[in-house]
Amino acid sequence: MAKSKLFVREDLIREIMSREDAPLVIVEKFEEYDDISDGWFGIHTLFLLGLMKNRASFEALKKLIKENDFEEWTTEELCHILANFGEEFFDDIAEIVMDRGYGIWNRDAAYRALLMINPNRKLKELSKNLIRGVDNEEEKELICLLIPRMMTFHDEEIYMMCKEFVKKHGSCYPVFHDYELGEMWEEEEEIENKKNLWEHFSKQNLCYLYKINYGKPKIGRNDPCICGSGRKYKNCCWKYFM
Ligand SMILES: [Zn+2]
């Protein structure tokens, strides 16, 4: 998988998923394989572990996000990967939100995952505890990230607590003024839905990732395709680059 770099076939993913020792091997070999793969191994494994959805893959995922910086990948996709673990892992994901050992973008992603799984009473209580517990800059930044998410509850008490928070601590991204809070409260917040993680491994998505990272492939129409399918480029992925 590491050797195939960006383009990984679905059957290979399924084969890895069927192996019980996969999460362990991924964590053990992470750095070495990520170097070989031009950085794609790490990103692919986050999705793969999400698809596996078991205790071992959850623990591996936690370790990877705690010890590595996935930059914008964490903010955009991690919430969906965590949400895929489902209700059974609700308390485990809540622990990530509360654990100051994780970066705030990871904790924000975990919070978003909980909202997708089940925005229940437990999550309301957790939100209140987070706001009450702010005692440093990092916690303040986290609450600022979470305020727009918390508004989706439409809970009067949480709204008042957020208002108090902005008054007391001043503003930070993405809440700069307290009137913005009012706007968020009024607004019909769009609810995020879980994504199908297999979409990450679709040809269309992998070609899109190729395009934004490497530009259009500079190969002839009759050359073997960049995805490694063995077919000619003109009969394979060229359509995704048009
Ligand atoms: Zn191709």
Ligand 1 centroid, distance to 238 Cα (angstroms): 7
Q: Ligand 1 centroid vs 18 CA: distance in angstroms?
A: 25
* Cβ atoms of 62 and 94 closer than 8 Å: no
DSSP letter string, 195-206 = --GGGGGSHHHH
Give residue 173's pLDDT.
Answer: 75
For 47-98, write each residue's pLDDT tens digit.
Answer: 999 999 999 999 999 999 999 988 888 888 999 999 999 999 999 999 999 9
Residue 56 CA to residue 64 CA, distance in Å, equals 12
pLDDT of residue 168: 87
Distance (angstroms) between ligand 1 centre and the Cα of 191 equals 35
Model pTM score: 0.92
Cβ atoms of 124 and 154 closer than 8 Å = no
How many Å lie between the centroid of ligand 1 and the Cα of residue 223? Answer: 11
Distance from residue 48's CA to the centre of ligand 1 (Å):
21
What does the pLDDT read at residue 114?
A: 96
Res 169: pLDDT: 85
Tell me what pLDDT residue 189 has: 67
Task: Kindly give the parts of the chain with pLDDT less than 70.
Answer: 176, 189
